[in-house]
């Protein structure tokens, strides 16, 4: 199936990057990327083109990751927020106290995401990590674009309130 090979070559790096942001592990991201494309290959004949190919692949990747977490009995505390942690920890001139505060923030955000309802978490992950548009998120989750926007802003506000912060996601 030459058409699928082209999709694989075009989207491999982007799917891998999405999974790496979720897992924080190169090896696990490689494994899950392969699983994503395997599942996509198996269901390619059912892909109707209602969404962008990357949206479809990101959705499969997300479900593959969650399946991995369930299988290995890891909760969402395993959800890597390394990109956020890296961003929070990049200030080299910070004092040890400031680094401790930043580290504490990462733990609070991880816990807040763990406790978020599934629909909130799914929309946040697809928006932040996969950098999908609301239209693409809607297509991936079988909801309208407006529903994706509403869920995202509710989720963002819930996290901000839970964390006691005013911040932009």
The top-scoring range by mean pLDDT among 2-6, 19-23, 145-149, 165-169 is: 145-149
State the Rg of the chain over Cα. 17
pLDDT of residue 12: 94
- Are 139 and 51 within 8 A, CB to CB? yes
Res 99: pLDDT: 64
State yes or no: pLDDT of 169 exceeds 60.
Answer: no
Domains contained in the chain, number:
1
- Residue ranges making up the domain that contains 63: 1-76
The answer to whether residue 66 is domain-embedded is: yes
- Is there a domain that residue 146 lies in? no
Q: Within a domain: residue 114?
A: no
Cβ pair 160, 109 in contact under 8 A: no
pLDDT tens per residue, range 54-113: 888 988 898 888 888 777 655 444 444 444 444 444 455 566 766 666 667 667 776 777
pTM: 0.56
pLDDT band at 16 (very low <50, low <70, confident <90, very high): very high
- In-domain check, residue 39: yes
Instruction: For residue 19, give Cα distances in angstroms to 5, 41, 43, 87, 134.
Output: 20, 18, 20, 18, 19
The verdict on residue 30 lying in a domain is yes
Asked if residue 48 belongs to a domain, the reply is: yes
pLDDT at residue 125 is higher than 60: yes
Q: Which of 3-7, 14-18, 34-38, 81-85 has the lowest mean pLDDT?
A: 81-85
CA 133 vs CA 96, 120, 146: distances in Å: 38, 15, 11
Residue labelled with tokens 């692949």: 57
Per-residue pLDDT at 13 exceeds 90: yes
Is residue 153 one of the residues assigned to a domain? Answer: no
Does 145 fall in a domain? Answer: no
Phi/psi-derived region of residue 79, left when phi > 0, alpha when psi is between -120 and 50, beta in every other case: beta
Alpha-carbon distances of 92 from 11, 89, 102, 164, rounded to whole Å: 34, 8, 12, 26
> Three-class SS string for 144-165?
CHHHHHHHHHHHHHHHHHHHCC
The predicted-structure confidence for 130-158, as pLDDT tens digits, reads as follows 778 898 888 888 899 999 999 998 888 88
Residue 33's pLDDT band (boundaries 50, 70, 90)?
very high
CATH number, domain with residue 64: 1.10.1740.10
């Amino acid at each position: 199936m030459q058409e699928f090979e082209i999709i694989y070559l075009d989207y491999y790096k982007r799917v891998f990057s999405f999974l790496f942001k979720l897992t924080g592990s190169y090896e696990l991201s490689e494994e899950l990327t392969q699983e994503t494309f395997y599942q996509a290959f198996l269901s390619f004949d059912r892909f109707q083109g209602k969404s962008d190919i990357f949206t479809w692949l990101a959705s499969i990747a997300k479900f593959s990751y969650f399946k991995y977490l369930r299988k290995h009995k890891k909760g969402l505390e395993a959800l890597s927020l390394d990109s956020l942690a890296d961003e929070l920890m990049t200030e080299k001139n910070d004092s040890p106290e400031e680094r401790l505060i930043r580290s504490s923030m990462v733990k609070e955000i991880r816990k807040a995401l763990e406790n978020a309802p599934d629909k909130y978490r799914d929309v946040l992950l697809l928006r932040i990590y996969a950098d999908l548009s609301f239209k693409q998120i809607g297509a991936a989750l079988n909801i309208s674009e407006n529903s994706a926007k509403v869920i995202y802003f509710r989720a963002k506000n819930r996290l901000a309130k839970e964390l006691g912060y005013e911040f932009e996601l």
